[in-house]
Each structure stands twice: as C-alpha cells, then as structure tokens.
Amino acid sequence: MYSTLQDTTLLQSDLARLVGAEHILGPTHPAANGIEPTRPAANGRQGGWASYNHDATRTRGLYGRADLVVCPGSTAEVAAVLGLCYERDVPLIPRGGGTGLAGGAVPLGGGVVCSLERLRAIRELEPTLWRIHPEAGVSTRHVQRLARENGLCFPPDPGAAEQSQIGGNVATNAGGPHAFKYGVTGNWVTGLEAVIPPGETIALGGAYRKDVAGYDLKSLLIGSEGTLGIITAVRLRLMPAPEAALPLISFHATRAQGCTAILDVLGTGIVPAALDFLDGEALRMAAGAYPGGLPLEAEFALLAEVDGTLEEARAAHAELATVLGSSAIELRRPDRGALWEWRDRIAGAVCAMRGGKVSEDVVVPVERLAEALARFEEIATRHGLRSCAWGHGADGNLHANLLVDPRSEPELAAAEAATEELFALAVELGGSISGEHGVGWLKRGQLARQWPPRALHLHEEIKRAFDPKGLLNPGKKLARPPAAMPSLASILG
C-alpha cells in the first residue's frame, strides 16, 4: 500500500488541483461504500471507487485496493498526474475499460489508478484517407461504429468491445476472431501519443502508413500493458468495408476431426476472415444462448467467415462449405450478427456454471492445437477441475478455461497449479504463454519459460529505460519471477 491516510489526503488535494476534486475517487469518498453499481454511472464513470479495484479477472477472485482513482480529462492532465506521482514515488496504474484478462489494470499493491475514461474525443476522422485519430478512452465499439458509418472497417474485434477502450486495446495489442486475416490491433496503429516518465508527452509515428526511421518505439509501447507509458491517443488506419461477409458453422463429432478440418481449410488456400472453435463442453455450456439450439452431441464446432466482394465471398463460402462439410456432422449458415453476438456471450455463459473461471490464452502452432486441447483436458481432470476451451482456431490460440468457485481457495490453488502446467505445455509445443491477453500480473515471470536469459535482460532494461523508478504499473509484465511470488489464493479479495 502506498502510504498512510495522511499522505493520501495530501496527495488527493494535490491531484485535485490538477484534475478537479470531482474527478478523484478514494476509499473515503462517499461513493466508495464497497457496493458496486450494476452499471456505469451516468457521468461515464465505470462506477464507484470499488469498481476500479478489479478487471475481468474478478471471475477468479482477483481484487486490488487503490489508494486513489484519478480521471484526468486531457493529455496535459495525464502528464501532470504522472509528473506528480513520479516526483512523490507513488505507483501509477493506467486503466482503460477494465476488461483485461491478465490482471494488468488491478492495483494489487495500492497506488493511484489513472483511468483514461474522460479522454473520449475523436481528434480526426478522415474517411477518404481511411484514417481515424481517437483518444485513448474511446470505446472499441465506437471506433468500429464510426468506421462502419463511413463505409470503412476497423477489423480488430476483441470480445468486450462495448466496454474496452481503444487505448487498452493498443496497450494489450488485443486480437479477436478476425485477427487471422486482418492481424491484431497493433497492425492498425500508425502513430500514438503517450505520456512517459517523469511526465513527458511524446508522439511516435503519425498519419503515414510506413515508417522505418529509428528503433520501433511505437511498437514497444503497443502491448506494453501500461508498464512503459500511458497512451493518450492513437492514430489508426482503416480499410474499406468488405462488400460481403458470409459466416458458416460446422459441427464435428470429435475434437481431432474438428482440428483436422482447420488444417484442411488452410490447405485449400482459402483465407477465412475468422476461423474460431469451441470444444464440446464449451458448446454445451453456451448452447442455451444460441438462437434455435445446437447439436449437443457435437464435440467441436468451427465458426468460420469469409469476406470480400459479394462474388468472392460467395465463391469462398461455397468452397469452405465443401471442405468443412466433408467431415462435419452438420453445417449451418447462421445470421452473421446473431453468430458473433452469441460468440461474445460464451465467456459469460461458461462463467455462470460455477460462478467463476480461470482463463488462459496460450497459443501453439496450429498443427499442435488438437494435442494442446487434449493435454489441457487431461491436466484439468488430474487437478479435479471441470474445463472447456474455445478460441481462434486458425491462429492456434486457445482460451483454456477452468471452472472454479472464486471463493474456494483449494479450487483456485488447483487452477493455479493447472495453469502452470498449461504454460509449460504451450512452450513445449513450440508456442507462447499468451496469444492476446498479455502477461499482466497473472503471468508475471512466465516469459522466463520461453525466452533466453539475454532477451529477458533486454526486456528488463527496456522497462528501466522508460521507467527508471519502476512506478508505472509495478509488478506487471515482469519477464522473470519476482523473488517472492504470492499465490493467487493468498491475495484473494
């Protein structure tokens, strides 16, 4: 924890001079009664002070305790806040929409949470140049909507788009179902503005599409999870919206057949815009929410989509149907909106089964996906946990889920042991510990499994170069395990 109450009071009044007292929340604030509102406050806040103490990892019981929450209203205010905190040796935790799945925005050691929610301006939208320049706090969905309204498309589509912010997406380099064809968020960033210690604003890149001048500092900030700087605005490229996007679902009798079907699709040379999967358990847990029901005997499903001109999409759709149909027990041509809406709700449906879930997002070479899924199930069973998986099949990116009661310490401990084995498995199969959610707090130190010592050292040196005092999101995205690693169960909120 940062300090005594007296210090916090002093800090609060100094921060209030920078951003206005109404934009600071603390545990002593009248709204901080520990009861979370069920929806964001009318002023655009995510809720009271308590709602800034967790992210989406609350489903596994992860809570921190912020000394203060500050909501600056401009880049200049972000710089002033960072400057003050740096001068006073106060940890600062950048926060977007709080949908992260690695605990990156959770104030586990106290400190000041810096929420970007008030940076919501669109600085420029230039449809004929296929460009948009939103501030960090604009929601992902709003960026997608603005692009669509102008005949364009912003392809990255992480699941919690209504709540997540574009700054958070850049900070985590978020992916999503359409990343297979179109790449992850970072592939669409041509420039960004960030505040870095000890409180300086820098602009990297710009409104141009190519840039090989200097080391790629922009890409260092992309995916840095709030540990190198606070992103305040991003320049994104857009693309003309495809004329048509045609979805398909195939249901397969076994996991092995479904994974082979993924390889068959790739082998034909069809480039699906998306090729997601669900295993049988996930399918059955989420079936109730699917309009018209699903074949419950299936052990694997593929959610595929092809796009392009109407003619191209139709031709690819027919070819896809032939390839998937050759091994599927059933093929469906669903309504596109309903399909992806349902896909977004799978995590919630799975979580509801036991009240919580521990979810990891390892990635393996696509031809090892079947083996990864089978061995994950074996690991979960050995630890006495029910499991399921879904994910971005063509990317080899599996969201491996362990169902837990988040109040049960033995279940959380079993899940933690199982995820350790899962990380080891991913690396053994030639993959990575995270395909899209990042390292955050939950995977701190796990990079040491897959990087050589010299690379780990460089990772640490980069952190020191940006943040010599180590005050920006401390304890997150650590390359090597810290000396004392508290277990998840031991910090249960």
Ligand X SMILES: Cc1cc2nc3c(=O)[nH]c(=O)nc-3n(C[C@H](O)[C@H](O)[C@H](O)COP(=O)(O)OP(=O)(O)OC[C@H]3O[C@@H](n4cnc5c(N)ncnc54)[C@H](O)[C@@H]3O)c2cc1C
What is the contact surface with ligand X in residues (CB under 6 A)?
Answer: 55-56, 93-101, 104-105, 116, 136, 158-160, 164-165, 167-169, 171-172, 174-176, 225-226, 230-231, 347, 436-437, 440, 473, 476
Give long-range contacts, CB 8 A cutoff, 24+ apart: 308-316.
308/242, 308/243, 308/244, 309/242, 309/243, 309/244, 310/243, 310/244, 312/244, 313/242, 313/243, 313/244, 313/245, 313/246, 314/244, 314/246, 316/246, 316/270, 316/271, 316/272
> What is the closest distance, in whole angstroms, from the C-beta atom of residue 315 to ligand X in the complex?
28
> What is the closest distance, in whole angstroms, from the C-beta atom of residue 426 to ligand X in the complex?
16
Nearer to ligand X, 133 or 437 (CB): 437
Determine the residue with CB nearest ligand X: 168
321 and 331 in contact (C-beta within 8 Å)? Answer: yes
33 exposed, middle or buried (CB, 10 Å; 0-12, 13-18, 19+)?
exposed
Nearer to ligand X, 8 or 232 (CB): 232
For 314, residues 6+ apart whose C-beta sits below 8 A from its C-beta are 244, 246
Q: How far apart are CA 69 and CA 54, in angstroms?
A: 12
At residue 308, what are phi and psi to the nearest 5 degrees? Answer: 145, -155
Q: Are strands 122-126 and 244-252 parallel, antiparallel or unpaired?
A: unpaired
Nearer to ligand X, 26 or 159 (CB): 159
> What is the closest distance, in whole angstroms, from the C-beta atom of residue 123 to ligand X in the complex?
15
Q: How many CB atoms lie within 10 A of CB 128?
A: 8
Rounded CA Rg of the chain: 22
170 and 186 in contact (C-beta within 8 Å)? Answer: yes
Nearer to ligand X, 167 or 191 (CB): 167
Nearer to ligand X, 168 or 280 (CB): 168
Nearer to ligand X, 236 or 328 (CB): 236
Nearer to ligand X, 56 or 147 (CB): 56
Tokens of 403: 């169902």
How far does Cα 158 stand from its chain's mean position? 7
Q: How far apart are CA 110 and CA 104, in angstroms?
A: 13
Nearer to ligand X, 99 or 250 (CB): 99
Q: How far apart are CA 191 and CA 98, in angstroms?
A: 23
> What is the closest distance, in whole angstroms, from the C-beta atom of residue 140 to ligand X in the complex?
7
Dihedral, CA atoms, 452, 454, 456, 461, nearest 10 degrees? -170
Nearer to ligand X, 116 or 238 (CB): 116
Nearer to ligand X, 231 or 273 (CB): 231
Nearer to ligand X, 173 or 250 (CB): 173
**Upstream peptide bond of 198 is cis (omega within 30 degrees of 0):** yes
> What is the closest distance, in whole angstroms, from the C-beta atom of residue 325 to ligand X in the complex?
27
> What is the closest distance, in whole angstroms, from the C-beta atom of residue 177 to ligand X in the complex?
7
Nearer to ligand X, 156 or 242 (CB): 156
> What is the closest distance, in whole angstroms, from the C-beta atom of residue 230 to ligand X in the complex?
5
> What is the closest distance, in whole angstroms, from the C-beta atom of residue 333 to ligand X in the complex?
23
For 341, residues 6+ apart whose C-beta sits below 8 A from its C-beta are none
> What is the closest distance, in whole angstroms, from the C-beta atom of residue 340 to ligand X in the complex?
11
Dihedral, CA atoms, 79, 83, 84, 90, nearest 10 degrees? 110
